[in-house]
């Protein structure tokens, strides 16, 4: 018998927030500044999921200086992370209901930590999440389970009591690596076929469907 869910951890990009338009715009600001070819929205979508470094590694032209362009991207995105971003339908309401039901809530993402804190503060009530962490350099990025384990330790819940909701292959693998219960959402940046290919088996198509797992 499965343990009762006492905590829900969320991925951020493609799960709680549609951040793709801002990420795409900021990447292309870097590209334009150096005369590189612009990247498409779809190319940006496919490159999302493993943090800013991998995003730029995947999108920069061969031979471009990664560290310099990555620093530029981080600076530009820090100032423009909320210009075009939107909350997914039902995200706030579902999180509020989860809190009412007694769940602890957290966010673990490969997005830079400063940008993570900024967008969560901008788009969600200040007291909704009990734990928020992005890539600060203190932990390896997902799918390494270290940050997820730290989140559960901070929330005082076990892996069996924790549901991890995310839209990507990285999120499913993080949940699996940390022993959490994975839940793949289908409104984000990956298709069901892509998620099935890494072993995902539990899916939701609307935010409020998460409530049935509680």
Q: Which H/E stretch holds residue 36? A: none
Calpha distance 29→53 (Å, rounded): 16
- β-bridge partners, 34: none
Provide the token pair at 3: 């343990």
What 8-state DSSP symbol labels residue 168? S
Calpha distance 30→35 (Å, rounded): 9
Burial class (CB in 10 A: 0-12, 13-18, 19+), 12: buried
Calpha distance 70→54 (Å, rounded): 10
Instruction: List active site positions.
Output: 11
Calpha distance 113→209 (Å, rounded): 28
Provide the token pair at 80: 């423009």
Distances (CA, A) of 201 to 14, 33, 37, 38, 176: 18, 43, 38, 36, 12
């Amino acid at each position: 018998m499965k343990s009762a869910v006492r905590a829900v951890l969320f991925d951020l990009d493609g799960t709680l927030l549609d951040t793709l338009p801002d990420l795409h715009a900021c990447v292309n600001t870097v590209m334009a500044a150096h005369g590189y070819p612009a990247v498409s929205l779809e190319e940006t979508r496919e490159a999302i999921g493993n943090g800013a470094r991998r995003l730029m590694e995947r999108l920069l032209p061969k031979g471009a200086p990664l560290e310099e362009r990555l620093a530029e991207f981080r600076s530009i995105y820090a100032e423009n992370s909320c210009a075009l971003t939107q909350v997914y339908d039902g995200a706030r309401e579902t999180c509020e209901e989860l809190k009412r039901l007694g769940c602890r809530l957290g966010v673990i993402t490969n997005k830079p930590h400063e940008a993570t804190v900024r967008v969560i503060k901008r788009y969600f009530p200040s007291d909704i999440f009990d734990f928020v962490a992005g890539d600060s350099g203190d932990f390896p990025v997902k799918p390494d389970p270290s940050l997820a384990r730290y989140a559960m330790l901070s929330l005082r819940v076990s892996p069996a009591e924790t549901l991890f909701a995310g839209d990507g292959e990285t999120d499913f693998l993080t949940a699996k690596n940390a022993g959490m219960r994975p839940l793949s959402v289908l409104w984000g940046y990956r298709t069901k076929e892509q998620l099935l290919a890494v072993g995902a088996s539990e899916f939701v198509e609307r935010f409020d469907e998460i409530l049935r797992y509680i």
